[in-house]
Amino acid sequence: MAYRSCVIILCLLNVILEVADVLTLSIPAPRVCIIGAGYSGLGTARYMKEYGVNFTVFEASRHIGGTWRFDPHVGVDEDGLPLFTSMYKNLRTNTPRQTMEYAGFPFPEGTPSYPTGPCFYKYLQYFAKHFDLMDNIQLQSYVTLVKWSNDHWEVTYTKMDTKEKVSEVCDFVVIASGEFSSPVIPDVDKLNTFQGKIIHSHDYKDAEAFRNRRVLLVGAGASGLDLAMQLSNVTAKLFHSHHLNYNQPDFSKAYVKKPDIDSFTPTGAFFVDGTTEEFDDVIFCTGYNYAHPFLDGSSGVTASQKYVLPLYQQTVNIKHPSMMFVGVSKKVINRVMDAQGQYAAALAAGKFELPSREEMLRNWLEHVYAQQNLGQRIVDVNVINNMDEYFGNLTAEADINPSPPVLTKIARFNGRNRLEDLLNYRDYDYKIIDKDNYERTYNPRKEQPCPIEV
Ligand SMILES: Cc1cc2nc3c(=O)[nH]c(=O)nc-3n(C[C@H](O)[C@H](O)[C@H](O)COP(=O)(O)OP(=O)(O)OC[C@H]3O[C@@H](n4cnc5c(N)ncnc54)[C@H](O)[C@@H]3O)c2cc1C
Ligand SMILES: *[C@@H]1O[C@H](CO)[C@@H](O)[C@H](O)[C@H]1NC(C)=O
Ligand SMILES: *[C@@H]1O[C@H](CO)[C@@H](O)[C@H](O)[C@H]1NC(C)=O
Ligand SMILES: *[C@@H]1O[C@H](CO)[C@@H](O)[C@H](O)[C@H]1NC(C)=O
């Protein structure tokens, strides 16, 4: 059954994609445009430079670093642009830096395994300087349209200083615009009747704004757990509504665990267990949607709030393989984005050839069926379940830097350990011994050093 419908879908897609088209990707492309100068865009730029590709990075804001730069503005920045970063004060990474480092570019010795947000930002600045990327980065260039026309990409952006609209022709486009900028606010009954303040963690900057207030925190993902720690000793009351099953630490007396919300009232909420609470503010830590508002129908990908498809190797737009996405994959370590950036650069530099579109589609469909067999929802097409296999596939196909399994081992351990020991899991340092093994040592510090000079 599954095989038959697979064949039918393939036939249909063949028609849609006109597989008979000749692929002309083996000719090295003269011009690459990268959208976004966060971790993903910078990582991609490094390899483009290394491979001698002519490229420009278009970055909307006045700064590189994306998510990792703290910005005191809320909502819009000094140029009236939507704020892309969701960084808050006193953040430390929730994953050991070893899983986040660019290939061959470790943090200096002595950097804690869970550096602060500003330290990670410094690392990105240092990276851009080290690889001499700044000359290729065009700041204040807000991309509004990427259009396929006459066998190339036309990238239109607004120069935020002059408000001038400019269009440029690009042979390859790499989309590295991030995935944590467009907040999800769940559709909870009577939310609009609540009279207090409602924010999303995207707009959360600092616990101080909530001192002595009664706060409802919603969600227990990475941000929800972090904010629970930041707020529990500051707020008068902290109601935390979530359904994560984990080893809840002893927060302060102000902390009250709540189940899901049933509906809001003007001054609080009913919960599904029949209880009611009153509070002043709500903070939704309820995640982010994908947002690629600059793509139109000509791109040939379906870019919704929940997925981007169909992508070969989670990177290549199968319909127009001169468009690559770096950093839309879910549940991955940052090192995956480094690998995708190198893969994109190798493709643009003509270092390898893609299989036929039909082959790429078959490969993608196999991934979709595998996800379904794992019980994943169909929207999880951008989830990578087996990072080691994924790294292996990229390396085999495009000869990219291998990523040793020790990184994914650390990531898996950290994922479990965070839920076991939320208050202390960052008090450890990791050391990589070899490609399979690491050491973990207890090393609590009062201050987090950041031995990087930019
Ligand atoms: C609060 C927070 C904490 C996190 N902590 C961790 C962690 O501890 N460990 C971990 O592994 N991951 C963490 N992450 C995940 C994080 O997203 C990645 O680490 C990484 O920063 C992603 O980089 P990126 O370049 O893909 O996206 P971003 O960092 O979002 O960069 C995208 C860039 O594209 C630019 N841009 C967007 N749209 C346009 C446009 N239309 N035109 C031009 N430019 C545009 C933006 O200005 C931005 O500079 C965290 C994420 C958040 C939000
Ligand atoms: C790179 O591309 C731009 C835009 O097409 C072009 O103006 C420039 O001359 C190119 N640079 C090199 C070194 O080829
Ligand atoms: C709250 O403060 C107490 C006393 O200073 C401290 O022991 C505890 O770890 C703090 N809790 C959190 C979650 O930071
Ligand atoms: C790796 O490649 C194989 C063969 O194409 C494929 O079946 C598998 O799904 C790929 N794995 C990942 C994680 O992409």
Ligand nearest to the CA of 363: 4
What pLDDT sits at residue 84?
98
What spacing in Å lies between the alpha carbon of 60 and ligand 2's midpoint?
21
Q: What are phi and psi of 117, to 5 degrees?
A: -55, -50
Q: CA nearest 324: which of 167, 145, 175, 122?
A: 175
Q: Is 388 in the pocket of ligand 4 (CB under 6 A)?
A: no
The continuous run of DSSP H or E covering 142 comes out as strand 141-149
Which burial class, exposed, middle or buried, applies to 433 when counting CB atoms under 10 A from its CB (0-12, 13-18, 19+)? exposed
* Domains of the chain as residue ranges with CATH: 31-182+288-408 (3.50.50.60), 191-284 (3.50.50.60)
Q: Point out the ligand 1 atom lying closest to the alpha carbon of residue 100.
A: 11
Q: Point out the ligand 2 atom lying closest to the alpha carbon of residue 169.
A: 5
What pLDDT sits at residue 27?
54
What pLDDT sits at residue 220?
98
Report how far apart, in Å, the C-alpha atoms of 56 and of each of 90, 324, 339 are: 33, 15, 19
Three-state secondary structure call for residue 396: helix
What spacing in Å lies between the alpha carbon of 259 and ligand 3's midpoint?
23
Q: Is 161 in the pocket of ligand 4 (CB under 6 A)?
A: no
Q: CA nearest 348: which of 50, 15, 5, 10?
A: 50
Q: Of the residues 225, 233, 247, 446, which should be mutated to test ligand 3's pocket, given the most ligand atoms within 8 Å of the CB?
A: 233
| Distance separating alpha carbons of residues 108 and 1, to the nearest angstrom | 55
Amino acid present at 56 = T
- Cβ atoms of residues 306 and 379 within 8 Å: yes
Q: Point out the ligand 1 atom lying closest to the alpha carbon of residue 67.
A: 29
What spacing in Å lies between the alpha carbon of 36 and ligand 1's midpoint?
9
| Distance separating alpha carbons of residues 311 and 248, to the nearest angstrom | 38
Report how far apart, in Å, the C-alpha atoms of 231 and of each of 157, 214, 217, 285 are: 40, 10, 9, 13
Q: Is 390 in the pocket of ligand 4 (CB under 6 A)?
A: yes
Neighbours of 144 (CB within 10 A): 12
| Distance separating alpha carbons of residues 141 and 422, to the nearest angstrom | 40
**CB-based pocket (< 6 A), ligand 3:** 229, 232-233, 251-252, 423
* Three-point CA angle 118, 122, 126, nearest 5°: 175
The pTM is what? Answer: 0.94
What spacing in Å lies between the alpha carbon of 50 and ligand 1's midpoint?
23
What spacing in Å lies between the alpha carbon of 333 and ligand 3's midpoint?
29
Q: CA nearest 41: which of 167, 136, 147, 174?
A: 174
Tokens linked to 163: 């408000």
**CB-based pocket (< 6 A), ligand 1:** 35-41, 58-61, 66-68, 84, 86-87, 93-95, 100, 142-143, 176-178, 180-181, 223, 294, 327, 333-334, 337
| Distance separating alpha carbons of residues 200 and 224, to the nearest angstrom | 10
Ligand nearest to the CA of 64: 1
Q: Point out the ligand 4 atom lying closest to the alpha carbon of residue 370.
A: 9
| Predicted confidence pLDDT, tens digits, the chain (454 residues) | 344 444 445 444 544 454 434 455 545 447 999 999 999 999 999 999 999 999 999 999 999 999 999 999 999 999 999 999 999 999 999 999 999 999 999 999 999 999 999 999 999 999 999 999 999 999 999 999 999 999 999 999 999 999 999 999 999 999 999 999 999 999 999 999 999 999 999 999 999 999 999 999 999 999 999 999 999 999 999 999 999 999 999 999 999 999 999 999 999 999 999 999 999 999 999 999 999 999 999 999 999 999 999 999 999 999 999 999 999 999 999 999 999 999 999 999 999 999 999 999 999 999 999 888 888 776 789 999 999 999 999 999 999 999 999 999 999 999 999 999 999 999 999 999 999 999 999 999 999 999 999 8
Ligand nearest to the CA of 426: 1
Are β-strands 165-170 and 197-200 bridged in parallel, bridged antiparallel, or unpaired?
unpaired
* Three-point CA angle 101, 105, 109, nearest 5°: 85
Ligand nearest to the CA of 136: 2
- Cβ atoms of residues 48 and 346 within 8 Å: no
What pLDDT sits at residue 11?
43
Tokens linked to 46: 């490094």
